[in-house]
Amino acid sequence: MKNINSKYKMYIVLKGFASILFLGSILAIIKGSLPIEPISNTSEVSEGIERNYFRMLTPLLIIPIVEEWIFRKFIPDTFQDIVDRKKIVVFSNLLFAFLHFDWFFISYFINGLIYSWAYEKTNNLMIPIIIHSMWNTFVYLTLETFL
């Protein structure tokens, strides 16, 4: 396995986060324009953080670590000998999306694919964890600022 330099890792983090920002913005506009009452776990998480700032660690740090380990490392690595790597990555991201219990699961699926891309490019789980934490922080700060 080759050693990947820190500049390349930073490039992947920035490219991944920029991709999520861009696609997330488009998907948020689409979701907001649909005549369906929004149901999301994001508002519940924000309410919990408002009551207890120590709860910030869960969505902004602990959940990204756990989710990235499960959906980018454990599931794909466990089943790649049974199912083609690309197929198991897609399945893992579908599972990731559905387990967020949001009717508009496509945004979670796309985010998961970007996290998977970052992991596959670097073979370093810290890279998608950083991107995921950055995204969760961005969402939290956006909700706190504009809602």
What range does the domain containing 114 cover? Answer: 6-32+50-146
Contact 116, 93 (CB under 8 A): yes
Rounded Cα gap, residues 135 and 63, in angstroms:
12
Sequence-separated (6 or more) residues with CB below 8 Å from residue 70: none
Question: pTM for the whole thing?
Answer: 0.85
DSSP state of 123: -
Q: What is the pLDDT along the chain (147 residues), one digit of tens a residue?
A: 456 789 999 999 999 999 999 999 899 889 888 887 655 555 555 555 555 666 677 888 899 999 999 999 999 999 999 999 999 999 999 999 999 988 889 999 999 999 999 999 999 999 999 999 999 999 888 876 765
Q: Take residue 135 and report the two structure tokens written for it.
A: 């995204």
137 occurs within a structural domain: yes
42 occurs within a structural domain: no
Total domains in the chain come to 1
44 occurs within a structural domain: no
DSSP state of 2: P
1 occurs within a structural domain: no
45 occurs within a structural domain: no
43 occurs within a structural domain: no
